[in-house]
Structures are given as C-alpha cells and as structure tokens.
Amino acid sequence: MKKLLITLVIVCLVSSIIFIGSGCKAEETQAEEVGEETQAEETPAEEVTEADIGDEDIVIGASFRVLTTEFHNAINVAAEKKAEELGIGYLSVTSGNSPEKQISQMENYISLGVDGFLQGGTIDNRAIVPGIEALNAANIPVVGVDSKPAGGKMELFISFDNVRAAEQAGEAMIKVLKEENGGVLPEKGVIVEITGDLRDTAQALRHEGFDNVVNEDLYPQFTIVQGEGKWNPDEAFQVTSDIFTKYGDDIIALYAHTDQMFSGIFSAIEQAGYDPADLVVTSMDANSAGLTYMEEGLIDALPIQDAASYGALAVEYLYKKIMGEEMPEVGDTVTVEGELWSPAMIVEDEEGVCPIMLLNSPIVPWDVPTTDPRIWGNIARGITE
C-alpha cells in the first residue's frame, strides 16, 4: 500500500511588537543565517483532496501552525516515520500561523473522513477551539503537541513541563554565575530574558518558571529586562540590539525561551561590540544550532524538549485510540527504557481539555552530552551513533 505524506509548506510574515520589557524588526542578513529556523513569508496552503488519500485502512491528518522551523519539521518527520512503521496513512499541512486556515483544514479533514487528527500547535489557543469542537462532533480523535487549545476535547496533549524546564534554566544560570564569581553571586548586573510570542501559552509558562527562581525579589541586586523575540531569530535580533544599546556593559546573563532564536541574539550581541562567551547563557529545546553553540562555549545549559518524540508519540497514541487500545490516564507514569523523554507523567489539564503527558527534560550537558544521538537536534547534525 502506498504511504503518502502531503506536506504543504507555506510561509507567513507575522507582525511584530516592540518592547524593552516588549521587541521589533530585523536586518535582512539575519534570514540567510537562520535558514529553516526563520519564518519566511507564507501564502495560504491548498487543502489536501480525496485524490491524496491512499488505500490505507487508517489515515491520520495533521495541521501544523508552521513547518519552517527545525522544531516543527522534526515533529512532522517523526510523525510520518511512525505512521510508516505502523502501516497507516499520514497527511500534513501547515497553516502559516493562521487559526482561520487551521480551522478550514480541520473541516476539510472531516469531509475527507480521516480517522484521527494531530493538532500541531496554534498561535492562538482560543481561536482554534471551534475546529477542535468540529472534530469532536465528527467523532475524530485528536492528539495535540506544541501548544494546547483552550477548549474542545482531545485524547491527549503531549508536551514537557515548560515551567519546570524554565526553572531548570534559571537555576543553571544562578549556579554558573556563582561558579564564575568565586562561589558568590555578582553584587549587581542586568539579566536579559528574550521571550517567545506573548500570545503563546508556552511563552507564558517559560516566563513563569524562570521568574519562579530568578526575580528581583529573590535577587534585588539584579535588574531583569525582557524583550519579545516571538520565537523568531529576526525578531530576537532587533530586540536584543535594543537591549544591548541601552544596558550594554551591565549585562551579565541572558535567558532565551528557545535556542532557535540564538542566531539572531548572538549576532546582535556581537554587532553591539560584545562577546556572547562573556555572558552566562541558558535556554531550552536543544535544537541543532543550540547544541553547536553550546560546543562553541556560548550556551551553558539546555533542558531538552524532545520534538521528535512528540510526533512519534502523537501518531502512536492516535493509532491506539483508533484501534480501541488502552490510553494513559491521569496519575499514570509512562516509562520506556532508553528514551530521553522517559519517565513521563500524565497530569490533569486545568482547562479540562485532555490529560497532559509531560515528558522528562534532562539538561544538556550536565545530564546528557551534546553529542548524544538521542537528542532530536542531533538528527539534523547527522549524529546518529
């Protein structure tokens, strides 16, 4: 039977917001430097059609908010690979960060009669709810990754503990600051936080966790400054430039909500006349660029967000649901020997949408070396053993 993957990649230019405590525009040279990690301009994707459906007995449809980042592409590739292993069909499209387009894609999948749906994130977790509810009404099971809708029902949402990972990044920052200052913290300094998109749930959680352990009440000698990088190296470049123009010599550390922004961040720091290696830098995710920067001595700690496992687990659990097999329940611990994401806890969702599977987040390089082939970022680097 023929295995289909219809990946309709479109690209979208999202408007920016400026703040120092808030972000903005970037130079054209940045887009060339970041490659796949940069969101380029997108146009609406064509929907898949009945002609795209193969002769598999089971077909899963997926809609991703974008497929122009290494992170989302890794999820999609792993999902397609798992579907192939299971002998089922897999179709994927991307909405270019348009909730309206994603809802249209969900309605199209319903009309095509897919057996399950993988929700590959959304830029607006409330706007997407009508699409999830339509899938519910059609009795099509839904498993989500990346960012969870605020309503409707899903069988499972696969994530990692964004709050805890951000706490780990903050704790690592304080630890390294002490180590580099003779066992005590500096008496003063500016700490920079480059956030994701302020509309995004993950951004809020990654700020919350960091703020739990690094804030001006706990460390009154520090000034903490925020800039909105919007998950995008271009946006991160400009806001970092603004911050270093204002605070320059006083900056001692930087925390970014994802390592996919660092090409822009480090370029901005260097263009401002500073060396990123002089700062204590932490982040999370562990993509290919983040791992390379760490080996170059530019990043001190990275809790892993296992993107590839998101895709594989999402398809696996959709298949289990379709086949009537047992699904994990709140309170369960899922353990698979040898997997970086294991153990994973199944916790309750405060919004009541679905159980949430929180994958483990070991820290590179303290828990896992940068060259470990199980890290999803090493797939792109060609490190397989």
Please say whether the beta carbons of 89 and 56 come within 8 A: yes
Q: For residues 156 and 349, is the Cβ–Cβ distance under 8 A?
A: no
> What pLDDT score was predicted for residue 49?
75
Q: Does domain 162-303 have CATH number 3.40.50.2300?
A: yes
| 330-347 pLDDT, tens digit each | 999 999 999 999 999 999
ω into 365 cis (within 30 of 0) = yes
| pLDDT (0 to 100) of residue 29 | 25
pLDDT, residue 123, reads 83
Contact 289, 233 (CB under 8 A): no
User: Which amino acid is located at 106 in the chain?
Assistant: M
The Cα 96–Cα 119 span in angstroms is: 14
The CA–CA distances, whole Å, from 82 to 9, 64, 88, 255 equal: 20, 17, 9, 34
Mean of all residue pLDDT scores within the chain: 88
Let me know: does 78 contact 85? Beta carbons within 8 Å: no
**Distance, first Cα to last Cα, the chain:** 31
Residue 211 is predicted with a pLDDT of 98
Q: Residue 114: CA atoms inside 13 Å, Cβ hemisphere, count?
A: 30
pLDDT at res. 22:
33
**Under CATH, which number does the domain 7-18+28-160+306-360 receive?**
3.40.50.2300
Distance CA 232, CA 264 (A): 8
Give me the residues of the chain with pLDDT under 70, please. Answer: 1-46, 51
Q: What dihedral angle (degrees, nearest 10) is formed by the CA atoms of 368, 372, 374, 380? A: 120
Burial of 23 (0-12, 13-18, 19+ CB in 10 A): buried
Q: DSSP letter at 118?
A: E
d(CA 228, CA 241): 12
How high is the pLDDT of residue 260?
92
Intervals of CATH 3.40.50.2300 along the chain: 7-18+28-160+306-360, 162-303
Report the alpha-carbon distance of residue 227 to residue 242 in Å, rounded.
9
**pLDDT tens digits for 306-333?**
999 999 999 999 999 999 999 999 999 9
Convert the pLDDT of each residue in 43-89 to its tens digit.
334 578 776 777 889 999 999 998 888 899 999 999 999 999 999 99
Check residue 7 and give its pLDDT: 40
Which pLDDT score is estimated for 147?
86
| Integer Cα distance of 217 and 357 in angstroms | 32
pTM of the model: 0.81
What helix, strand, coil percent values describe the chain, rounded to 5?
A: 40, 20, 45
Q: Amino acid identity of 215?
A: N
